[in-house]
Chain A
Amino acid sequence: DTAVSQTPKYLVTQMGNDKSIKCEQNLGHDTMYWYKQDSKKFLKIMFSYNNKELIINETVPNRFSPKSPDKAHLNLHINSLELGDSAVYFCASSATQGLRETQYFGPGTRLLVL
């Protein structure tokens, strides 16, 4: 069974569109994250979220918004897509926020904005 799954695996879309990426974890974890891996393969945190708080990296444009329908899901919504949004987006989860907990990553969603 896949611990952290993401859909879709690939997403190709036009500039200006709105899109969503779904993430689900079956580990029973309390905290989920979104990371962006750019063309230089550099992984950078975008959001961390548990049932108490959302922490947003200050460099993330407000066109990006995470939405959590329940503890096992954290979806990423992106409005008005731009060329620079092209990257691989990874979802991750950990048992609790911080406290040295290991984060487990999904397989990634490859977004290409044309």
Chain B
Amino acid sequence: EDQVTQSPEALRLQEGESSSLNCSYTVSGLRGLFWYRQDPGKGPEFLFTLYSAGEEKEKERLKATLTKKESFLHITAPKPEDSATYLCAVESRGGADGLTFGKGTHLIIQP
């Protein structure tokens, strides 16, 4: 069974204080790893897809990286509007049954 573990569960940073969120996964053949952002009361919003170890993707202050066992979401000089829950999900080669999500990291950026 596919498993996704995210850490930390919650993270509070000062505006401008860079940090990283971790997503560890165990799958039977990774087809893709996805990062989503979820704001309170809303659905997950797609950020990145990573397909193979060594791959990196960037979007504004966010950068996602992938190894064979984990992915990191690096946040550089965050702003208060980056506050949200960040969800990691995997799709495995058995993967006709949707994404397997982690429980998310609740990120708070204080001004």
Chain A interface residues (CB < 8 Å from chain B): 4, 33, 35, 40-45, 47-48, 53, 55, 57, 90, 92, 97-100, 102-108
- B95 and A98 contacting across the interface, CB-CB below 8 Å: yes
A-B contact count (CB 8 A): 60
Q: In the complex, what residues of A have CB within 8 A of residue B89's CB?
A: 43
Task: Please name all residues of chain B whose beta carbon is closer than 8 Å to the beta carbon of A57 when the two chains form the complex.
Answer: 97-98
Instruction: State A112–B41 Cα separation when bound (angstroms).
Output: 15
Contact call B95/A41, Cβ cutoff below 8 A: no
Q: Considering the complex, give the chain B residue whose CB is closest to the CB of A53.
A: B96
A70 vs B31: C-alpha distance in the bound complex, in angstroms?
28
Identify the B interface with A (CB < 8 A). 31-32, 34, 36, 41-46, 49, 51, 85, 87, 89, 91, 95-101, 103-104
